[in-house]
A and B are shown apart, each in its own frame.
Chain A
């Protein structure tokens, strides 16, 4: 079913809510003096948009706006993730000391715009739409990561992000132009038909796919397009770093899955997929996945800045998630989607604790965490330990369950070497995550560190996320049911 422009409006209620919120924030910014209100409005906007997105789960699948975007369970799943990420980022911003300066109206407006772009990324069904939404997310992210205008690192982050982003998206759109040339269409479903039924030049198609991969690889921070991540994560305000590491990465994955699965592969029997002849991208991504996780983990070993350490860790996690991508099965895709949920919990949580400590001490390096458990910061230290061990993948925490499903999908399709590399990487990652835990618990404060207190505002999110991390590690059946239901691409 394909719907025209006017009728489509009813299906994009979540996006419309965001647009209204953005406009409202810019207008209200002119009249209110307490800028805190703007953040609260932004939070309420995203909450309403989340409800609207959840309501869409019950509506029938359709192509909207003359097949530019698509409404299906897959898109709804990611809209929920983006809304939750944006809410967490706004909540963190409200409790952050960094985000107290002027221009809060623009800040929250841009944050919502970025979320809006992600919504469209997850539901794009046309190369043009995919490119535009991806660029929209990128542009807003550049500005957000440079938001701390007096901090040179923040400026550096924005510039680096911009330059890398420009190169990556240029490469991607060049690749997309090849795909258009080969298939004669920009619509995903028509590309699939054209490439399956026609007999495209295999080398040309392979080059096109590789070039396109550059743009996605940049968004999910996979090697070799990861170089921006450590600098941007370090320089950007912490709430934005958290938002980028979860929201932006998930958006990249959403688009990656939609382009490479329904558009460039064929569903086979028994929940597996087959890639188009000649375009052996799984082999390529398989190597990228292993290199990404290994490089991310090895680089993280020697980091002393917590944001930088978490940046490398997030690169490694992109590698883990790619494991589910290369095995060409619905099980792998579901494992990726499930992993994004748990990754949201533990990664936002870890950045939140970094922010709590930075609020109190102004420090983001590991020495700022020395003896945290013994100088009044027992609560954030315990929460941080939960998040970090969950990132390592230890039971009974959510991160273990996420990794378990990924490894299960990999072993099921008999990629034993990939599985082995994955588990060895988990062991390596324990070393640097445990180093932070060691600094917090096993080292004792020398008396010069500032005491760390947690405001009720930040504490609420912190405890909520850590409780969810533990509960999801013990009983996750409802979430799995939700992700399993959500893996449905509408192809007309």
Chain B
């Protein structure tokens, strides 16, 4: 298990190579091959979960090799308490999304090959500890994502795909410049993140501020934070179901993960100075803004997409609080939002596959037609609105309690949005599931075994973490507390 993180990252790429060699017409073979390629990373993730040393704040399972010696670029991977939660989430959602993609009929080989490439890139982002390597994986996600949205997406897929591509690239080129500036600030020049973190005291003040903002813009586009969020509703709505799940479940977390790892870890002084406006106030604004937008949507999927903006606002607010409770709540919220929103997009996909539209007003009384579907959907949506006993409640409460100690006003604003959230969720449920059954959909079949198979593991996690969040909190508490101390002491 010496190379566990490498295996987790590159097994999907090996799977991609195998898929590319299969005949294009063998649809089932391709699907099963791709699905099997996501199993080893999932099993390794479970092993990682069991064997991760929770008492350590530093990086574990490190692998460190020279890559391009003349420029001091290294292959350097490892996990700490912050990234391990994301690694677990990535392995789980990649596996689930393979089965959520079973209905793909168009250019099957291309879809699954690109999907596996995307898997590898996502895993790479969370385990990379060399800034250059991190950047490569970060950018590597763009290509498969562009094609996955652009070829297999909805009616406005071309627009959505290029918009996603341009926004993200614009953000990441700023990161490239910041990365180079950090590299040259050290002698000898290095991309090693642990060294760049250790050298934080050597960065001049103004240098930190400019770099922090450049990096923040890059990451904020990914989160996405207002005003960089406009790509999200387009991309999420046009993408095929499984890709929406990946987008909302994993890609959005890369924004906040990047801020924690790089902005917090390398630029503590700027973080302490700028967090109030850029993370706290903006986060609180996002919570309210996302909720209000969600309330105005008539499209089921768009509603879920805007709810993501709102929920990611809690992550930002929690990160800005600099209290152990708030920051742990933030990372827990990243994990919980990953599972909950994945369920929501899967559920939207289920109904879209049957009714071929997503207009909320077009449904009604689905509870009597699809009782089992309604049950699962109720669980997921109640989790999304933060019902006590389900996972998102814990993380949102932790965030609000943590943030209250520093920013009472922002916290009050954020907390009041819970009412808005309840409003749009309940109103949507009333229109879709309750009321008089729409005759047109009387014959819709209930949720099938495959769909249930994709939803069940997530539902179990949502319920368990709802009253026993310790398994996830224990993983990250050491690393987050030490990061928090680091920024406060910076």
Partner of B173, one of A412, A423, A484: A423
B177 to A396, Cβ gap below 8 A? no
Tell which of B138-146, B252-260, B432-440 binds the partner.
B138-146
Residues of the B chain whose Cβ atoms lie less than 8 Å from the Cβ of A416: 177
CB distance from B267 to the nearest CB of A (A): 17
Tell which of A62-70, A273-281, A434-442, A461-469 binds the partner.
A434-442
B162 to A407, Cβ gap below 8 A? no
A394 to B150, Cβ gap below 8 A? no
Measured CB to CB, the nearest residue on chain A to B139 is A395
Return the CB mask of A183-226 against B: 1 if under 8 Å, else 0. Answer: 00000000000000000000000000000000000000000000
Measured CB to CB, the nearest residue on chain B to A410 is B180
Measured CB to CB, the nearest residue on chain A to B137 is A395
In the bound complex, what is the Cα–Cα distance between A484 and B69 (angstroms)?
13
A420 to B166, Cβ gap below 8 A? no
Tell which of A110-118, A248-256, A354-362, A425-433 binds the partner.
A425-433
A400 to B139, Cβ gap below 8 A? yes
In the bound complex, what is the Cα–Cα distance between A102 and B434 (angstroms)?
79
A460 interfacial contact with B, CB 8 Å: no
Residues of the A chain whose Cβ atoms lie less than 8 Å from the Cβ of B63: none
B43-96 interface with A by 8 A CB criterion: 67-71
B177 to A419, Cβ gap below 8 A? yes
B70 to A441, Cβ gap below 8 A? no
A426 to B173, Cβ gap below 8 A? yes
CB distance from B153 to the nearest CB of A (A): 9
CB distance from B236 to the nearest CB of A (A): 18
Residues of the B chain whose Cβ atoms lie less than 8 Å from the Cβ of A443: 158
Known: A396-B136, A423-B174, A481-B70. A430 touches B165 (CB 8 A): yes
B176 interfacial contact with A, CB 8 Å: yes
B361 interfacial contact with A, CB 8 Å: no
A407 to B150, Cβ gap below 8 A? no
A477 to B169, Cβ gap below 8 A? no
B157 interfacial contact with A, CB 8 Å: yes
CB distance from B165 to the nearest CB of A (A): 6
B139 to A424, Cβ gap below 8 A? no
B170 interfacial contact with A, CB 8 Å: yes
Known: A442-B157, A481-B70. A394 touches B173 (CB 8 A): no
Measured CB to CB, the nearest residue on chain A to B149 is A442
Residues of B within 8 Å of A, CB-based: how many? 31
A107-156 interface with B by 8 A CB criterion: none
Return the CB mask of B111-141 against A: 1 if under 8 Å, else 0. Answer: 0000000000000000000000001100110
Known: A394-B143, A438-B162, A442-B151. A411 touches B177 (CB 8 A): yes
A408 interfacial contact with B, CB 8 Å: yes
Residues of the B chain whose Cβ atoms lie less than 8 Å from the Cβ of A477: 68-70
B282 interfacial contact with A, CB 8 Å: no
In the bound complex, what is the Cα–Cα distance between A419 and B178 (angstroms)?
11
CB distance from A432 to the nearest CB of B (A): 11
Measured CB to CB, the nearest residue on chain A to B136 is A395
CB distance from A125 to the nearest CB of B (A): 29
Measured CB to CB, the nearest residue on chain A to B68 is A477
A476 interfacial contact with B, CB 8 Å: yes
B264 interfacial contact with A, CB 8 Å: no
Residues of the A chain whose Cβ atoms lie less than 8 Å from the Cβ of B146: 434
Majority-rule SS of B interface residues: helix
In the bound complex, what is the Cα–Cα distance between A423 and B162 (angstroms)?
18
A480 interfacial contact with B, CB 8 Å: yes
A389 interfacial contact with B, CB 8 Å: yes
Interface residues on A, range: 20 to 34
A438 to B158, Cβ gap below 8 A? yes
Residues of the B chain whose Cβ atoms lie less than 8 Å from the Cβ of A426: 169, 173
CB distance from B68 to the nearest CB of A (A): 5
Residues of the B chain whose Cβ atoms lie less than 8 Å from the Cβ of A407: 176-177, 180
In the bound complex, what is the Cα–Cα distance between A475 and B67 (angstroms)?
8
Known: A427-B166, A427-B170, A430-B166. A408 touches B69 (CB 8 A): no
B139 to A394, Cβ gap below 8 A? yes
B306 interfacial contact with A, CB 8 Å: no
Residues of the A chain whose Cβ atoms lie less than 8 Å from the Cβ of B176: 404, 407, 423
CB distance from A416 to the nearest CB of B (A): 8
A431 to B170, Cβ gap below 8 A? no
B264-292 interface with A by 8 A CB criterion: none
Residues of the B chain whose Cβ atoms lie less than 8 Å from the Cβ of A408: 71, 180, 183-184
In the bound complex, what is the Cα–Cα distance between A142 and B143 (angstroms)?
39
Measured CB to CB, the nearest residue on chain B to A426 is B173
Residues of the B chain whose Cβ atoms lie less than 8 Å from the Cβ of A395: 135-136, 139-140
Measured CB to CB, the nearest residue on chain A to B158 is A442
A441 to B150, Cβ gap below 8 A? yes
Residues of the A chain whose Cβ atoms lie less than 8 Å from the Cβ of B184: 408, 411-412
B314 interfacial contact with A, CB 8 Å: no
Residues of the B chain whose Cβ atoms lie less than 8 Å from the Cβ of A400: 139
A389 to B143, Cβ gap below 8 A? yes
B340-382 interface with A by 8 A CB criterion: none
Residues of the B chain whose Cβ atoms lie less than 8 Å from the Cβ of A419: 177, 180
B147 interfacial contact with A, CB 8 Å: yes
Partner of B169, one of A404, A427, A442, A476: A427
B29 interfacial contact with A, CB 8 Å: no
In the bound complex, what is the Cα–Cα distance between A395 and B183 (angstroms)?
18
B180 to A394, Cβ gap below 8 A? no
In the bound complex, what is the Cα–Cα distance between A412 and B176 (angstroms)?
13
In the bound complex, what is the Cα–Cα distance between A484 and B68 (angstroms)?
14
B385 interfacial contact with A, CB 8 Å: no
B173 to A476, Cβ gap below 8 A? no
In the bound complex, what is the Cα–Cα distance between A411 and B177 (angstroms)?
7
CB distance from B13 to the nearest CB of A (A): 11
In the bound complex, what is the Cα–Cα distance between A88 and B162 (angstroms)?
33
B68 to A441, Cβ gap below 8 A? no
In the bound complex, what is the Cα–Cα distance between A469 and B161 (angstroms)?
24
Known: A434-B162, A442-B151. A420 touches B136 (CB 8 A): no
B68 to A476, Cβ gap below 8 A? yes
In the bound complex, what is the Cα–Cα distance between A400 and B68 (angstroms)?
15
Return the CB mask of A396-425 against B: 1 if under 8 Å, else 0. Answer: 100010001001100110001001100110
B150 to A423, Cβ gap below 8 A? no
B151 to A441, Cβ gap below 8 A? yes
In the bound complex, what is the Cα–Cα distance between A430 and B169 (angstroms)?
9
In the bound complex, what is the Cα–Cα distance between A408 and B162 (angstroms)?
27
In the complex, which of the residues A404, A420, A481 has the most CB atoms of chain B within 10 Å of its own CB atom?
A: A404
Residues of the A chain whose Cβ atoms lie less than 8 Å from the Cβ of B70: 477, 480-481, 484
Measured CB to CB, the nearest residue on chain B to A480 is B70
Measured CB to CB, the nearest residue on chain A to B24 is A378
B409 interfacial contact with A, CB 8 Å: no
Measured CB to CB, the nearest residue on chain B to A443 is B158
B181 interfacial contact with A, CB 8 Å: yes
Known: A441-B147, A480-B68. A411 touches B180 (CB 8 A): yes
A434 to B174, Cβ gap below 8 A? no
Residues of the A chain whose Cβ atoms lie less than 8 Å from the Cβ of B150: 438, 441-442
Residues of the B chain whose Cβ atoms lie less than 8 Å from the Cβ of A476: 68
In the bound complex, what is the Cα–Cα distance between A283 and B333 (angstroms)?
51
In the bound complex, what is the Cα–Cα distance between A463 and B44 (angstroms)?
36
Known: A411-B180, A412-B184, A442-B150. A427 touches B139 (CB 8 A): no
In the bound complex, what is the Cα–Cα distance between A461 and B279 (angstroms)?
51
A442 to B181, Cβ gap below 8 A? no
In the bound complex, what is the Cα–Cα distance between A26 and B140 (angstroms)?
50
Q: List 30 A-B contacts (CB under 8 A).
A: A395-B135, A395-B136, A395-B140, A396-B136, A396-B140, A407-B177, A408-B183, A411-B180, A416-B177, A419-B177, A419-B180, A423-B176, A424-B173, A426-B169, A426-B173, A427-B173, A430-B169, A434-B146, A434-B162, A438-B158, A438-B161, A438-B162, A441-B150, A442-B161, A443-B158, A475-B67, A477-B70, A480-B68, A481-B70, A484-B70
Lowest 9 A-B CB distances belong to which pairs? A423-B173, A411-B180, A442-B150, A395-B136, A395-B139, A427-B170, A442-B158, A477-B68, A427-B169
Known contacts A419-B177, A438-B161; 13 further A-B pairs (Cβ under 8 A) = A394-B139, A394-B142, A395-B135, A407-B180, A408-B184, A427-B173, A431-B162, A431-B166, A442-B157, A443-B158, A477-B68, A477-B69, A481-B70
